[in-house]
Amino acid sequence: MITTITLNAALDTTYYLPSFTLGRTNRLKDLHVEPGGKGINVAKVLYSLGEKIIAGGFVGGSNGMKITELLEERNIPHEFVNIQEDSRVCLTIINEEIKEETEILEQGPTITDEEWSTICDYVKKAATKSKIITLAGSLPKGVPVDGYSQLIEIIQQNGSKAILDTSGEPLRHGLNSGPFAVKPNEHELRQLINKEILTLTDAIDAGKNLLKKGVQYVCISLGGEGALLLNQEEVYHVKAPEIEVVNTIGCGDAMLAGLASGFDKELPIEQILSLATACGAANALQPYAGKVDLDDIEHLRKDIEVFRLNHI
């Protein structure tokens, strides 16, 4: 069982426009609404992979009701803590003329102390029946900045493994609790180590430093440079497959799903990185976040080469 936790769930709305001009009237060609937030995107991909999952976290108000309705339409099991305030809407504007994506993200609800206590209790129970729990996305207002750190301790004290995918101070605090695995992207890692330019060597060195904090696996997505996966003994690098990208939103979430699935199945590290990379690329071939085609994943995995770089 894999449980995904989304503390800042969203109703992801995508506007498709033939062209988009700021300060002018723009007419909509089409729109699409998805249940979103990073953890929910992870859950959608895990469901496509055939994993036994539960999508958990916070939802509230009419937007929260719509999120759960959409998950039910997709037959994705879920157990959310209902909150007083409305879940957020995240808007993506697709300019089809120049293939440009613009995101407008609401900040989201404010979580009360009682609601935070409830999610901590929920995560404790989930940890007793889940092999893996993913913690992904931003922290809503009201959640302590060390919120993920608190949840990681709860998860790992109750027999499960925490995989963390966030940024900024929540990531920095979360690392202090030594999660089983973390998945920063290039931007998040540069922010973490305070470097404007990140070479492959810089990324490997940063990954090694994260391992010293008690993290067992570090996966670093590097855009066009592919990805790294490190543990205490090994460093592996994979090049990004060459594809015709349709959509970049949600690719990191799909990659996280591949990691969680690989760890759940206890695959060799090379196969975990291959699966995660294929999931991220497969999402890029689809128009919506959290959507993958299994045939795409299998086809992509055949062309993905994983290289062992060195011993740590």
- 113 in catalytic set: no
Options 165, 253, 264, 296, the catalytic residue = 253
Q: What are phi and psi of 2, to 5 degrees?
A: -120, 130
C-alpha span between 105 and 12 (Å, rounded): 9
Residue 114 has which token pair?
């009682």
State the residue for tokens 């299994």. 294
Give 46-96 as a DSSP string.
HHHTT--EEEEEEEEHHHHHHHHHHHHHTT--EEEEEESSPPEEEEEEEET
Instruction: Please give the sequence-ordered ranges of beta strands (E in DSSP) within the chain, or none if there are none.
Output: 2-6, 10-17, 30-36, 53-60, 78-83, 88-95, 100-105, 132-136, 161-165, 181-182, 217-221, 227-230, 234-238, 306-311
Q: Give the active site residues.
A: 253
